[in-house]
Amino acid sequence: MKRFTEKIIEGILKLSGGVTSIIILLIILFLFKEGSGLFNNSSIEKGYVLSVNPANPVKTLSPKQVKEIFDENITNWKEVGGNDEEIKTFRFEEIFDLYPDEELDGEILSQRLSDEISKENGIIAFLPERYLLTSFKGKLLESNNVSLSEFFLGKEWFPTAVPAAEFGILPLLLGTLLVSFGTIAIALPFGIAVAIYLAEIADPRIRKFFKPIIELLAGIPSVVYGFFGLVVIVPLIQKIFGLPVGETGLAGSIILAIMALPTIITVAEDAIRTTPRVMKEASLGLGATHWQTIWRVVVPYSISGIMAAVMLGIGRAIGETMAVLMVTGNAAVMPTSLLEPVRTIPATIAAELGEAPVGSTHYQSLFMLGCILFLLTLIISLSVEFISGKKKNNN
């Protein structure tokens, strides 16, 4: 009977593990399926087209050029490969300012749009596709799909820009990496130092007092850390560095470092305490000091666990959303230092996913950001495992 019960428990555990693995795999497949659809869509808003006069030699425009034209930063067709002629932008709603409503019923509206485009040589019109009849006199610009180079190397993130959105993730990627590296630079030395102190130096009573408190910090919701950062850290940074605003990458790094410390300290301290006592006694017996024993025996022996702690800390830093969203300024611009507002990939997904129409280019771009975040975490995990395994073999 006991044997039968053990078999049932073993089967339940195997089934749970298999189901969990399948669910994780399906989530990853869904993530990449939704994200890969981005490169099959145009940056022009769905259901709309860009049209120019038939005499205009320009055949296509990049999303950045379209944005610059409608922002009136580009005012001559010569700047985008056309004739030396002034650009006149035209949006669909402007037709109602030119004609009374009774003259815009049914097919007459389409005819009026066609007439406006045909009589203005320098015009570029942003129009709903449904109003274009077979007799439409304008020339439609070719609508190119979002390219890999535009997405991965683009420096502008304007997914809701009209008429052409821009999906350059470079500022988001650099903002994520900048905040993450800042977090590790702060959390790693403090975390490992505290872990070594608790495991090897602290009095047992001190360890029993501080260890539960540190573990308790890991359970505090991230929004609480965000409020703390907004009320304390942000004004402090603004005052110390004389900045116009304190919501910067540095504020995000400090908050994430505080959040990552409990994980790094707990896991690293447990790993350090697994060092066999006989190894430490042998080192001390050979004349090594306590610090030499820690540095040359304890740390090398427990390096695998310490690297696991680092990996978990980095994972939390890269994937954190709410706290970062609250203290980093949420500005999708190319960062040059930690003292500027930045926006990270997780914060972008959290801030914009609820507003993106399902199936839209914007929606798919956010899923692609999720794919990139997944790959970043995977690369870091594999790198840490490789380094940890290599050092362990050397030891």
Residues contacting 68, CB < 8 A, separation 6+: 74
Tens of pLDDT along the chain (395 residues)? 667 788 888 888 888 888 888 988 898 898 888 888 888 888 888 888 899 988 899 988 888 888 889 988 999 999 998 889 999 999 988 888 888 877 777 678 888 888 888 888 899 999 888 888 777 888 888 877 888 888 998 898 988 888 888 899 999 999 998 998 899 889 989 999 999 998 888 888 888 888 888 888 878 888 899 999 999 999 999 999 999 989 999 999 999 999 889 888 988 888 888 888 888 888 888 888 888 888 888 888 888 888 888 877 877 777 788 888 889 988 888 988 899 999 999 999 988 988 888 888 899 999 999 999 888 888 877 776 676 665 555 55
pLDDT for the residue 253: 93
Length of the chain: 395
How does strand 123-128 pair with strand 48-52?
antiparallel
Q: What confidence score (pLDDT) does residue 388 get?
A: 60
**CA-based nearest residue to 347, from 159, 160, 165, 172:** 172
CB proximity list for 198: less than 8 A, separation 6 or greater: 206, 207, 210, 211, 265, 269
**What is the set of domains in the chain, with CATH numbers?**
48-167 (3.40.190.10), 170-394 (1.10.3720.10)
| Residue 339 CB partners (closer than 8 Å, separation 6+) | 237, 241, 243, 248, 249, 250
What's the pLDDT at 365?
Answer: 92
- Amino acid, res. 214: I
CA distances from 309 to 192, 265, 315 (A): 9, 8, 10
Asked whether the CA dihedral 70, 71, 74, 80 is positive or negative, the reply is negative
Strand 88-91 vs strand 123-128: parallel, antiparallel, or unpaired?
A: parallel
> What pLDDT score was predicted for residue 249?
92
Q: What is the pTM of this model?
A: 0.84
Tokens of 180: 């993450």
Encode 355-386: b = buried (16+ Cβ within 10 Å), e = exposed.
ebeeebbbbbbbbbbbbbbbebeeebeeebee
Q: What is the pLDDT of residue 15?
A: 85
